[in-house]
Amino acid sequence: MFERIGSMHRFLQARAFYALVLSSALALALLAARVARTHQLSLTFLAWNLALAWMPYLASLWAAATQLRRPGAWWLLLAPGALWLLFFPNAPYIVTDLIHLRERPPVPLWYDIGLLAAFMLAGCFLAVVSLQVMQTLVRRTAGAAASWLFVLGASGLAGLGVYLGRVLRWNSWDALLYPRDVLADALAPLLHPRGNLHPLALSAEFAAVLFVCYVTFYCVRQGGRLGDERR
């Protein structure tokens, strides 16, 4: 039993689970303090958005655990991979909640800046960690070059997902409930770029921000691993 618990601990630790719990706990604690101070539910939607941001990370853990159990059965990764891709845009989407920043007495503006920043960082951390978990699985299955193409594609789709969610107000599960409508809205900027410069620019901006954040995170983590190997 203790060996199994230890194995699970190492599995979660290697995938930054405890750090992600800490960042989310800080964001939720700041939100709880705000509610306790004001007795109002303003900005409590951030908790729901954070819960959605956890979905791709949990899907990536499912995929990683599946590969550990059945290393050669790549087809078993399709279900968790599809779930991850479906919910992945929810993680960077939290950044767009900055649109709700304004003075809300009696809470000072600086407090809400910190609150939104805590949720934004938690979402970004969840995004880059889950993306690295998935990239690692792709690298083991298809090689390094394919894994970086996967990162580029996932970043682009996440940027498009942010546009669909923030501007067109589609939710992740709408892709299952109304697949034709969601697909039509997703393809419109790509098929008719001249008439959809704003959607393309928004999607490209968030895709670029996510990609650069991921590359920075990847380089820092790889550098840390090299430092541990040299000791």
Residue 62 confidence (pLDDT): 97
Would you give the end-to-end CA distance of the chain in angstroms?
32
Do 118 and 30 touch, CB atoms closer than 8 A? yes
d(CA 40, CA 31): 11
Q: Is the pLDDT of residue 227 over 90?
A: no
Residue 221 confidence (pLDDT): 84
d(CA 48, CA 93): 12
Which residues make Cβ contacts (< 8 Å) with residue 50, sequence separation at least 6?
24, 27, 28, 94, 119, 122, 123
Residue 228 confidence (pLDDT): 54
pLDDT, tens digit, for every residue of 113-172? 999 999 999 999 999 999 999 999 999 999 999 999 999 999 999 999 999 999 999 999
Q: Is the pLDDT of residue 230 over 70?
A: no
pLDDT, tens digit, for every residue of 102-127? 999 999 999 999 999 999 999 999 99
pLDDT, tens digit, for every residue of 26-85? 999 999 999 999 999 989 999 999 999 999 999 999 999 999 999 888 899 999 999 999
Q: What is the mean pLDDT of the chain?
A: 92
pLDDT, tens digit, for every residue of 72-99? 888 999 999 999 999 999 999 999 999 9
Burial environment of residue 136 by CB neighbours within 10 A (0 to 12, 13 to 18, 19 or more): middle
Do 123 and 192 touch, CB atoms closer than 8 A? no
- 140-167 core/surface letters (b: 16 or more CB in 10 A; e: else): eeeeeeebeebbeebbbbbbbbbbbbbe
Structure tokens at 46: 């951030």
Indicate the DSSP class of residue 83.
H
